Chains A and B, each alone.
Chain A
Amino acid sequence: MDVLSLARFQYAATTIFHFFFVPLSIGLVLIVSIMETMYVVKNNEIYKKMTQFWGKFFLINFAIGVVTGILQEFQFGMNWSEYSRFMGDVFGAPLAIEALLAFFMESTFIGLWLFGWDRLSKKVHLTCIWLVTAGTTLSALWILTANSFMQHPVGFHINNGRAEMNDFLALLTNPQLWVEFPHTIFGSFATGAFVVAGISAIALLKRNRVDFYLKSFKIAIVIGLVSGVLLSLVGHSQAQYLVKTQPMKMAASEGTWKDTADPAPWTVIANIDTKNHKNTGEIKIPYLLSFLSYGKFSGSVEGIETLQKRYVEKYGPGNYIPSVKTTFWTFRIMTVMGGLLCLLGIVGVFLVWRKKLLNNKWFLRTMVAAIAIPFIGSTTGWLMTEIGRQPWTVFGYMQTAASVSPNVSAGELLFSIIAFIGMYSIMAVVMIYLFVRTFKEGPSLDNKVTNQSNDPFDGEGYHIVTE
């Protein structure tokens, strides 16, 4: 394989892995913050147990999110040095701000939260976890500011052969950001919610500490439903925005080779022939693509061939068609996952409301399996977003082939790919092992010791901590 393919493979593999942990961290810390708020407001010990129990999952997960994130920051320079030179003036700023604003906040207050149970007052301790939540959310905002620039570049001009920022506010008010950020953040909240609900469902199926897990499930399913619905609504406006700014990505994800009829039907499934630019075995729903694209039941949508012709005129000769099959199918899988989240959320809230949840074994089992849904959804969603943008790294200005480091050899890349994948595999196994173990240990529900520890020297002793 050549350097470009290897670099792309490494970037995709490490980013997909990183993004298993990121949305879960963002979602879990929100839920933990809400639980601790309930503890402080209601002063009921069970919410403290919930905070600590789900907090353990959050910490196990957060650790991997953080350490794999360092690699993400280094990778732009290591593998994409030409990109970094050309775009650093614009793209570097949100990354630096992310570190300064979000990473310091997250890391400092997570330390205070974890080590501060005995040293801080209840309210200050609660403030710490909310600041971690704020930090993770701000982190998402800034990294997506950077990504939105790649999808829809704004606020810059080309000077001396490279991009220079000339309007910082434009980066922040990039319309792409304000569809992409809410879509990602609600997806993250839903991820945390469905993981908590799914794990609680396992315990509820076994009738294990029903009070504790039912309370956890309730909080989670409400957050899951609200985020699922908002996620889908924002997703819809994101698609409409896509038609305007990156029509090629939209056409590819719809598999429309030629301009559609007016009104445009939506293709549910199709057998795509990328060689002959033809689809067979299509199932179509009339009017729907017009509605998805423009929010009304009329209007034709441009096809891949028309757009290719226009891009050749605008950007010079070349192939501007991304992988149609991948974008088509990842888009569909993502959409189905989003729909499932809403559906399960509605059913779940209904069952909880009618107090029928515990007797409904099939639903609880479904919720266990549903832990996978948000992860499949976000992975396919990002695959569609990033593969659909190809051949560009920054849409319309810089192509992926021109972005790669010229001084990194295929051998070096092969070495790093093997090293990172090896490392990440071990971490994934360990992390899943710890999740299972933490669940089996269960929450500490006896009221004598408030903090579980395995230290032989640590019994009642630590309560005598004096200032």
Chain B
Amino acid sequence: MLLNELWFLLIAILFIGFFFLEGYDFGVGMATRFVARDETERRVLINTIGPFWDANEVWMITAGGAMFAAFPNWYATLFSGFYVPLVFLLLLLIARGTAFEYRAKVDHPKWAGTWDWAIFIASLLCPFLWGVVFSTLVYGLPIDKNMNMHATFTSIVNPYSALGGVLITLLCLYHGLVYICLRTTDVIQARTRALAKKIFWVLAAAAIAFVVVTFFVTDLFTKRGLVLYPIYALDVILLILSAFFLSKKRDGWAFGMNAGVIVLTISSLFIGLFPRLMISNVKKAYDLTVYNSASGSYSLTVMTIVAVTLLPFVLGYSIWSYYVFRKRVSKEEHMEY
């Protein structure tokens, strides 16, 4: 039973890692329209995430794989239940990945321009779709006694989930802007900093709205209020601190603080869910939980050994890769993308 809880934690960590890492590259993708003024500036922005975006996406793929292995029922219900949104997500991710790799392969403004629109649109909509999915997870979904989810359009897209989508999108955008401040120089950096200060207020408003609505429409606070109140309090403090450090041009600190915001926000959703994986709004007994959806203890033990052995290596070479590319990207530099 302990293993079930451990794997819930591990999958939460994988998703937190995904939002923390791919979050900033989604944000940078959005910033290509909001910050960059010309082709060269767009290139600079895209090249700040050049060596990283692919590995960042693997956090999501690993989270999916871990769901499949540890909680097959969760994987089956979620992926078949969110069929149409996931088709869109896949199309967007496919376009986005190809765009990064292909945009600089032909030297023609229309060629790069087309791919850049793909990068922008996908970077905007992917976090939105994930936000929608995660907020419906805590809101509740039409899941029947066989664990099959029969979603209508409104059970996935409703005011609450749309708000969740907007929140995650803004969170990624702000995260990406702080990342750009950390990784660029001169004009681009100054312009990004100015925009980040504005986005901060929009993000703060969306975050407060989301927490308030969550209080009323979900059972998160009645179940886990004791943990969630301090988490959201800390969330607010870290967000304000990140804006403070940003205005003091301490970008590393600002990025660190906002990383904390992402970790806490995504954690709060998983904490609110636990021990449930998906909430059925048909009947409480139909909820998917870490106990009724999990693989056997043998399989979980094997997976635990494998994960504990491999994760240190993954973290090690990931950190090394960030160390290698620690230098800021400027217009004068050679750019691959």
- Residue contact B65 to A98, C-beta cutoff 8 Å: yes
- The residues of A that contact B314 with a CB separation of less than 8 Å are 100, 104
- The residues of B that contact A419 with a CB separation of less than 8 Å are 87, 91
| Dominant secondary structure of chain B at its interface with chain A | helix
- The residues of B that contact A353 with a CB separation of less than 8 Å are none
Bound together, the chains give a CA A90 to CA B158 distance in angstroms of 36
Question: Which one, B28-36, B179-187, B190-198, B299-307, is touching chain A?
Answer: B299-307
- The residues of B that contact A71 with a CB separation of less than 8 Å are 90, 94
User: Which residue of B has the minimal Cβ distance to A405?
Assistant: B80
- The residues of A that contact B296 with a CB separation of less than 8 Å are 89, 159, 164-166
CB of B102 within 8 Å of the partner chain: yes
Bound together, the chains give a CA A461 to CA B330 distance in angstroms of 12
CB of A299 within 8 Å of the partner chain: no
- The residues of B that contact A82 with a CB separation of less than 8 Å are 76
- The residues of A that contact B148 with a CB separation of less than 8 Å are 81, 406-407
Chain B nearest CB from A96 CB (Å) reads 4
- The residues of A that contact B93 with a CB separation of less than 8 Å are 67, 70
- Residue contact A78 to B64, C-beta cutoff 8 Å: no
In the complex where A81-B148, A99-B62, A99-B65 touch, is A108 in contact with B102 (Cβ < 8 A)?
A: no
- A72-86 CB contact bits vs B (8 Å, 1 = yes)? 011011110110110
CB of B149 within 8 Å of the partner chain: yes
User: Which residue of A has the minimal Cβ distance to B324?
Assistant: A119
* Residue of B43, B54, B302 contacting most chain A CB atoms (<10 Å): B54
Query: Which residues 41-72 in A have Cβ within 8 Å of B in the complex?
Result: 59-60, 62-64, 66-68, 70-71
Chain A nearest CB from B336 CB (Å) reads 6
- The residues of A that contact B219 with a CB separation of less than 8 Å are none
Chain B nearest CB from A201 CB (Å) reads 24
CB of B147 within 8 Å of the partner chain: yes
- The residues of A that contact B81 with a CB separation of less than 8 Å are 407
- The residues of A that contact B311 with a CB separation of less than 8 Å are 100
- Among B54, B101, B299, B335, contact of A458 (Cβ-Cβ < 8 Å): B335
In the complex where A119-B325, A159-B296, A457-B40 touch, is A81 in contact with B76 (Cβ < 8 A)?
A: yes
Chain B nearest CB from A447 CB (Å) reads 17
Bound together, the chains give a CA A99 to CA B325 distance in angstroms of 24
- Residue contact A78 to B50, C-beta cutoff 8 Å: no
- Residue contact B333 to A100, C-beta cutoff 8 Å: no
Bound together, the chains give a CA A454 to CA B112 distance in angstroms of 12
- Residue contact A78 to B106, C-beta cutoff 8 Å: no
User: Which residue of B has the minimal Cβ distance to A113?
Assistant: B51
- Residue contact B68 to A84, C-beta cutoff 8 Å: yes
- The residues of B that contact A85 with a CB separation of less than 8 Å are 72-73, 76, 147
- A92-113 CB contact bits vs B (8 Å, 1 = yes)? 1101111111011101111110
- The residues of B that contact A458 with a CB separation of less than 8 Å are 333-335
CB of B234 within 8 Å of the partner chain: no
- Residue contact B83 to A412, C-beta cutoff 8 Å: yes
8 contacts between A and B (CB under 8 A): A63-B98, A68-B94, A78-B79, A98-B65, A99-B61, A406-B148, A419-B87, A437-B106
Residues in B lying within 8 Å of A, measured CB to CB: 40, 43, 50-52, 54-55, 57-58, 61-62, 64-73, 75-81, 83-84, 86-87, 90-91, 93-95, 97-98, 100-102, 104-107, 146-150, 295-296, 298-299, 302-303, 306-307, 310-311, 314, 317-318, 321, 324-325, 327, 331-336
List 7 tightest A-B contacts by C-beta distance, closest first: A88-B72, A77-B79, A462-B334, A92-B69, A111-B51, A454-B107, A92-B68
